Structure 1
Amino acid sequence: MRKCMETYSSIHVKEGTVNQLLCPYCGGMVLPGILKSLLGNIKFERWESLLLQRTLESMSDIVYCPRCESACLEDGDHHAQCTKCFFSFCSLCRQRRHVGLACPPPELTLEILMERQVSSQLNEDQTRRVQDKINEILSLKMVLVDSKQCPSCKIGIFKTAGCNKMVCKCGQLFCYNCGKAIKGYDHFREGCNLFPRETIQTRARAMAEPPPVVIVTVDHPCPICMQMNVKLTTDNYMFCSTCHNHYCYLCQKSVRDCFKHFGLHGCQRYTEE
């Protein structure tokens, strides 16, 4: 039992799904003292770090400083000030605080950064930070083209197949179609479809139209009288209507006992051709 709990706990810590690390019997949270004895010091420290990170991500007024990545409190106007490096910034565009002004579009920010990049006045560290910011904007633009953001932690998620009920790594359930946070399947009874309309139509056509049956005919001579016999199915057990010989289509030998010839160590009874 202890070994199972160790494996169960280690998998959740390794995958980062610490919010789902619950007691398999009562569904409650496992006590930290018990977890530490199951995981050991290193894995337990990772569990504590991940749990703190997931807790901060679930809080709607927590944002991260674009300079030092420290957690900061956001006010009602989407402004925040880092308590570590004291940088005051806008939580929407992650640029310097701009009271009363709209956020600059990503294209304008990208243009300014690229102009700053070619400036010879930047030192090595400043050049690296500008390049990191350019890569971040370009990556974000590419991600947002084909992905949907989690309504809780804002991470971009791709859906390659399946239904529109998505589960983010932070534990948030949301609809991939409209992007709204959900709790179960009630959302799909009232508004959005659980499966994309194209998937529903494809499945309906597949159920309405059974696949065609392809029959391949093969002319084959009997090994005794050389009379041509027609093989219509995948069955290799042949019968000659002329000399009444039973034989194998694969090895062309006469077959007296079908079960012995087409056995584990003999020829294969059915083959696709």
Structure 2
Amino acid sequence: MGVRGTLPPCGATGIRLLIGELEALLLQRYSLLEHVRQQYPQATVYMFADAWAKLQSEWLELERRTQRVELEMHLKLMSYLRSEPLKIKLEAASPDVTVDDEQFAEHLGLAIVTNDGQPNTVSLSLIAAYLRAKSAIGSEQARLLGLREGEAPPDSLPSRMVLAYAALIHLMHTEMLSTFVDHVGEAIIIGPEALALVQGRIEELQLVVDAAELAFATVATLRKGISDGWFTRSTKGPKSPISLRFGTPRRMQQPYIDSLL
């Protein structure tokens, strides 16, 4: 990060500050644009017109990619999983050992709940038949859980089961996770793979939301600058500007987002 040229003393007039879209985002992220405005109230901030257009299009693209409802669901999911320590056991991954849910369940000698009914697993269809027979859910809820026609309900289910990630997310989306936890077995175990995938999904969704909100705030600040007269878009740039360069501008894809937050 650096500045080409030397900033004049505070209070100097006629300052022309040239920034790109990356610099604008970073100035907004660390509240430096407001600091510059306070120190140099007569300064004019410039951005090339194509950079301004790119900043706005990137904001719209990020906003299009946000999944706020999905993020809220995952945050509520994690909160719920942590709120039931007597019924739900969360198993964090060991730093030096990586195993998937199936290997984890096999290592512990436990059944694993999946949504596809692979051999040696407990399918959500079987779970739906069991819950339907216990009158814990209705026919529509059983259908949403994937109850297959002719699926006979078991007399009982294992007292302790590992819940695979895909089955966990299916229960979340159908809003039947708490019903499952309340009526099935003594303990439900969320293995290290499922737990890591939920946490990773939250981070991924939050990253995009944060980046979209940063881009929106930056565009809003500069739009206000246009109306207030301290920000202008230019096709040629100002004469003898102070040019901020915080690195090589890149498209606002994953590495770019990472650099902003």
**TM-score of the superposed pair, with normalisation by structure 1:** 0.20
More helix by percentage: 2
Greater gyration radius: 1
Higher relative contact order (CA 8 A, sep 6+): 2
**TM-score of the superposed pair, with normalisation by structure 2:** 0.20
